[in-house]
Structure 1
Amino acid sequence: MVVVRLTRLGRKKRAFFRIVCMDSRKKRDGSALDILGYYDPLKSEDKVKLDTERYNTWIQKGAKPTMAVENLVKTLKG
Structure 2
Amino acid sequence: MLKIRLARHGSKKRPFYQIVVSDSRFPRNGRFIEKIGFFNPIASSKDKKIYINMEKIQYWTSQGAAVSKRTNYLIKKSKKLPVSNV
* TM-score interval (norm. to shorter): over 0.9
Mapped partners of 2:11, 2:43: distance in 1: 15
Alignment of 1:7-46 (within 5 A): 7-45=7-45, 46=48
Amino acid of the structure 1 residue aligned with 2:52 = L
> TM-score, normalization: structure 2?
0.87
User: Partner of 1:25: helix, strand, or coil?
Assistant: coil
Query: 4+ runs of 1 displaced by more than 4 Å?
Result: none
Structure 2: any 5+ residue segments left out of the alignment? 81-86
Q: Cα offset for 1:44?
A: 4.1
Match of 1:70 in 2: 72
For the aligned residue pairs, the C-alpha RMSD in angstroms reads: 0.9
State the SS of the aligned residue for 1:76: helix
Aligned positions, number: 78
Q: 2:34 is matched by which residue type in structure 1?
A: D
Of the two, which has the highest radius of gyration? 2
Structure 1 gap ranges (5+): none
- Residue identity over aligned pairs, in percent, reads 35
Match of 2:83 in 1: none
